[in-house]
Amino acid sequence: MPLADALRRFATTVDDAVADLIVAALIIADQHQAQNLSGLLSDIARSSRQQSSMRLRIETGRARTYASVRSIVVITLGLAVGLVVFSPDYLVPYDELGGQVVLGIIGALFVGAVATLIAMSRPVPPPRLLGGIEDGAAT
């Protein structure tokens, strides 16, 4: 198997943006006899370290977001349980149909807000340089 095809298969298997950069550099070096491959790989390594550092900072911020969302949910559910246990008279208006509708709307908004916060805090994978080569690597 030619080296370029093996490297493309490797990139498909690893499925990582940094691996795609390394594979692209190795394919170019193989096909065009690049003179400064070590410098190019060093630049990719430096860039990868910077990206890794940035991702760690972002994950730290996301951990704060997760903790805040968890606190909001626990406090809200604790308040609801406290109202049911210690002040059932306060919840009497929700026994009627209109109160049930309002309670359902409030609950749907709360669930939607929490789901949105969770979706916004999920990381987006970086785009791959060699994305879409899967079909060509299988041949």
pLDDT at 85 (0 to 100) = 95
Residues 92-101 have pLDDT tens digits of 988 899 999 9
What torsion do the CA atoms of 77, 83, 86, 92 make, to the nearest 10 degrees? -150
> Is pLDDT above 50 for 137?
no
Neighbours of 121 (CB within 10 A): 15
Q: Which two tokens stand for residue 6?
A: 């093996």
User: Is residue 20 classed exposed, middle or buried when 0-12, 13-18 and 19+ CB atoms within 10 A define those classes?
Assistant: buried
pLDDT digits (tens, 9 = 90+) for 101-121: 999 999 999 999 988 888 887
CA distances from 13 to 21, 24, 29 (A): 14, 15, 21
53 vs 65 pLDDT, higher one? 53
The structural domains of the chain, with segments of one domain joined by +, span 3-121
From CA 79, how far away is CA 84, in angstroms rounded?
9
Q: Is the pLDDT of residue 138 over 60?
A: no
Share of the chain above pLDDT 70, in %: 94
pLDDT at 135 over 70: no
